[in-house]
């Protein structure tokens, strides 16, 4: 599979980089990295919305370059720059070429690829923070948009006994399967699917995707959540909160238990 690489000059402006990541995520970009004053954004060639990207970046008045790259050409470079992520004293996420981290309660080892969800992005970090205070013992979990599989791996480490992890991207499925094997995950079923439609019921639903995908799948989440179940949502900006809240409350009586924020992104914990 070939990918489009956008090289956007941000000149060390972290706020600009975060805004661009937010907007490009909505356009279905799959991976980001910052390097020497540039933001690199990646999307499969077949999904590249050239007109929307040009309009967006012209509105921000930022110089950019577009390059077609083979998956392996940029993935190896990204792996080389991958650094461990530590979420409070709860969990450390590292690659197999890093030394073990013993200062946290849990450790997840992944093969770093451009699949979404390595812990570096604020939304994955926020989801893990929410998971730290939830009882997963003997629970069933639906991880929608699993990416690297980190949230599903964390769910099993916290005691979940039945996990369904879903993603629409073949590469993410392959990367998740690899990471499940590394972390000796035994209770997780991995499935390629583009929606959250399922006939199963779950105690906890995890969805770290984006606003549009969440809105499109809210009814499926509501249909699949058990009584007094928890729905954790992220991939959302602060400005998305009211829209998500209104949409969910129209579908089901529910309570927003927690709302946490990092770098303009939010994660929401709902009891349904």
Residues 156 and 69 both lie in one domain: no
Residue 128, class by beta-carbon neighbours within 10 Å (0-12 exposed, 13-18 middle, 19+ buried)? buried
Residue 202 near residue 226, CB atoms below 8 Å: yes
Neighbouring-strand partners of residue 87:
91
Under 8 Å between Cβ of 204 and 232: yes
Indicate whether 126 belongs to any domain. Answer: yes
- Distance between CA atoms of 70 and 218, rounded to whole angstroms? 35
Residue 164 located in a structural domain:
yes
**What gap in Å lies between CA 231 and CA 205, rounded to an integer?**
5
Q: Are 51 and 127 in the same domain?
A: no
Model confidence pTM above 0.85: no
Please check whether residue 10 lies inside any domain of the structure. yes
Last residue of a domain, one of 21, 47, 79: 79
Question: Where is the domain boundary, 56, 79, 102?
Answer: 79
85 found inside a domain: no
Beta bridge mates, 233: 207, 268
Residue 134 and residue 13 share a domain: no
* Average pLDDT of span 86-101: 92
Task: Write the Ramachandran bin of 44: left for phi over 0, alpha for psi from -120 to 50, otherwise beta.
Answer: beta
Q: Which domain holds residue 16?
A: 2-79
Residue 240 marked in a binding site: no
CATH number of the CATH domain containing 203: 3.40.50.150
Number of domains in the chain: 2
More confident residue, 139 or 174: 139
Same domain, 24 and 149: no
CA 111 – CA 114 distance, rounded (Å) = 10
Question: Comparing 202 with 3, which gets the higher pLDDT?
Answer: 202
Sign, CA dihedral 64-167-161-254, equals positive
Q: Please check if 208 is assigned to a binding site.
A: yes
| Residues 132 and 251 occupy one common structural domain | yes
Q: Is residue 155 part of a domain?
A: yes
Q: Which of 45, 79, 113 is the last residue of a domain?
A: 79
Considering the domain architecture, whether residues 65 and 135 belong to the same structural domain is answered as no
- Does residue 109 sit within a domain? no
3-state DSSP percent of the chain in helix, strand and coil, to 5: 35, 35, 30
Whether residue 126 is found in the same domain as residue 225? yes
Q: Where are the alpha helices (DSSP H) in 27-169?
A: 50-60, 71-80, 122-131, 150-157
260 and 129 in a single domain? The answer is yes
More confident residue, 121 or 54: 54
Residues 63 and 140 in one domain: no
Q: How far apart are CA 263 and CA 272, in angstroms?
A: 27
51 in a structural domain: yes
- Average pLDDT of the chain is 90
What is the model's pLDDT at position 267?
Answer: 97
Query: Among 192, 196, 215, which Cα is nearest to 206's?
Result: 196
Work out the average pLDDT over 253-264. 93
CATH number at residue 16: 3.30.70.600
Q: Is residue 63 part of a domain?
A: yes
Which pLDDT band holds residue 72 (cuts at 50, 70, 90)?
Answer: low
What's the pLDDT score for residue 71? 61
Residues 157 and 75 occupy one common structural domain? no
Q: Are 142 and 248 members of one domain?
A: yes
- Give residue 191's pLDDT band: very low, low, confident or very high (50, 70, 90): very high
Q: What is the dihedral of CA 40, 78, 165, 19, to 10 degrees?
A: -20
Same domain for 260 and 174? yes
Rounded Cα distance, 216 and 142, in Å: 16
């Amino acid at each position: 599979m070939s990918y489009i690489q956008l090289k956007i000059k941000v000149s060390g402006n972290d706020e600009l980089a975060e805004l661009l990541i937010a907007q490009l995520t909505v356009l279905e970009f799959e991976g980001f990295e910052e390097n020497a004053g540039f933001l690199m954004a990646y999307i499969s060639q077949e999904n590249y919305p050239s007109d929307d990207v040009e309009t967006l970046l012209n509105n921000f008045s930022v110089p950019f370059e577009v390059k077609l790259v083979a998956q392996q050409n940029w993935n190896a470079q990204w792996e080389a720059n991958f650094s461990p992520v530590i979420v409070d004293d709860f969990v450390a996420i590292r690659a197999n070429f890093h030394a073990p981290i013993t200062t946290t309660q849990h450790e997840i080892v992944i093969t770093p690829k451009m699949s979404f969800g390595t812990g570096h992005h604020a939304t994955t970090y926020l989801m893990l923070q929410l998971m730290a205070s939830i009882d997963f013992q003997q629970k069933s979990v639906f991880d929608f948009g699993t990416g690297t599989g980190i949230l599903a791996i964390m769910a099993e480490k916290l005691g979940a006994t039945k996990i369904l992890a879903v993603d629409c991207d073949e590469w993410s499925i392959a990367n998740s399967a690899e990471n499940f094997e590394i972390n000796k995950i035994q209770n997780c079923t991995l499935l390629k699917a583009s929606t959250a439609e399922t006939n199963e019921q779950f105690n906890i639903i995890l969805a770290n995707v984006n606003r549009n995908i969440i809105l499109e799948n809210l009814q499926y989440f509501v249909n699949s959540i058990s009584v007094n179940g928890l729905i954790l949502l992220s991939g959302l900006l602060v400005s998305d909160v009211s829209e998500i809240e209104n949409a969910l409350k129209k579908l089901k009586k529910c309570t927003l238990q927690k709302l946490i924020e990092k770098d303009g992104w939010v994660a929401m914990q709902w009891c349904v």
